[in-house]
């Protein structure tokens, strides 16, 4: 039956909306969560000490805080530093500026940072939460005029395409973190397990669940075909695609779990290394 009652579908102005639900909860949570992650990550990287624990034991094994892995260089004589044999390139370089702490973490944090920063999921999250463009579906965006008007990911924002390159580095990090996990199940060469080992092992597992759900990886393993039943390798491609799609559908979830996990693992090892908490383990050390 025709009706002449006009229903408003739109309202103008920043954060103005006809929505009645708690739409602000999601961007608010993103601002809080990502801010905590950034603050902790930078704080941990700046410390430059207490990133290693092996209960004073020499030999194979020990816990390495994930924000400090891989160890490109190691500064000797620092409290809670890893033994020199864990360094890729040996002792700390002389050319390092004196005003920056000799932190192995500062050398390697940028790559995973850029990988997450350019992730399709995180982009959606921080465009909404931090730049309000718009803050949520059907909610008014921050007003922009003239040259600063919204142009999507054009111009300088094309740099976000670097994601497909950093994805390869992320794969390398997963391998390194699995090696750290292997290391963490030994103390002075003796096989065992501790809370720290389990946290360190969970880190690459969660990171892999996040990374293998990446849109770029999904395209790489299965997205370049028009037809799975045509040509060689179609079935393998189809199976890979199913796994990547399953993870991709849960990409946001694994993005958050992996982010929280690495912070918990890093903080735990730092606190154990500083002696604030005692690691429960089978070595009794």
Q: Give the interface with ligand FES as residue ranges (CB under 6 A).
A: 119-121, 163, 167, 214-216, 251
State in angstroms the smallest separation of the CB of 268 from ligand FES.
25
Q: Decide the pairing of beta strands 190-191 and 63-64.
A: unpaired
Residue 15, Cβ neighbours under 10 Å: how many? 15
Residue 139 vs 247, nearer CB to ligand FES = 247
CA-based angle 152:119:38, to the nearest 5?
A: 105
Minimum distance, C-beta of residue 238 to ligand FES, in the bound complex (Å): 21
Closer to ligand FES by CB, 120 or 228: give it. 120
- CB-based contact 212:247 (threshold 8 Å): yes
Distances (CA, A) of 175 to 172, 180, 208, 236: 5, 9, 9, 23
118 vs 184, which CB is nearer to ligand FES? 118
- Nearer of residues 75 and 251 to ligand FES, judged by Cβ: 251
Least gap, CB of 263 to ligand FES (angstroms): 18
In angstroms, the CA 69 to CA 105 distance is: 7
CA distances for 284 relative to 60, 100, 190, angstroms: 17, 37, 12
Smallest distance, ligand FES to C-beta of residue 247, A: 10
Nearer residue to ligand FES within complex by CB, 86 or 251: 251
CB of 222 to ligand FES, least distance (A): 15
């Amino acid at each position: 039956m025709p009706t002449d009652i006009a229903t408003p579908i739109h309202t103008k102005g920043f954060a103005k909306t006809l929505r009645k639900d708690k739409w602000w909860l999601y961007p608010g949570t993103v601002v809080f969560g990502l801010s905590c992650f950034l603050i902790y990550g930078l704080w941990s990287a700046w410390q430059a000490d207490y990133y290693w624990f092996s209960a004073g034991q020499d030999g194979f094994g020990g816990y390495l805080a994930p924000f400090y892995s891989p160890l490109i260089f190691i500064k000797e004589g620092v409290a809670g530093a890893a033994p020199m044999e864990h360094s890729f390139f040996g002792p700390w370089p002389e050319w390092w500026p004196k005003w920056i702490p000799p932190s192995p973490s500062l050398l390697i944090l940028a790559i995973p940072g850029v990988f997450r920063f350019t992730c399709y999921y995180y982009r959606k999250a921080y465009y909404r939460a931090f730049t309000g463009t718009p803050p949520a579906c059907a909610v008014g965006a921050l007003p922009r005029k003239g040259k600063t008007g919204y142009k999507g990911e054009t111009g300088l924002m094309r740099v976000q395409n670097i994601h497909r390159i950093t994805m390869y580095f992320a794969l390398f990090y997963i391998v390194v973190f699995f090696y750290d996990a292997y290391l963490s199940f030994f103390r002075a060469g003796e096989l065992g397990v501790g809370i720290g080992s389990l946290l360190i092992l969970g880190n690459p597992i969660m990171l892999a669940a996040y990374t293998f759900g990446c849109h770029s990886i999904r395209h790489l393993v299965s997205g370049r075909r028009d037809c799975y039943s045509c040509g060689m390798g179609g079935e393998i491609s189809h199976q890979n695609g199913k796994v990547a799609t399953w993870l991709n559908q849960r990409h946001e979830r694994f993005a958050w779990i992996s982010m929280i996990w690495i912070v918990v693992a890093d903080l735990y090892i730092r606190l154990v290394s500083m002696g604030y908490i005692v690691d429960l383990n089978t070595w009794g050390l």
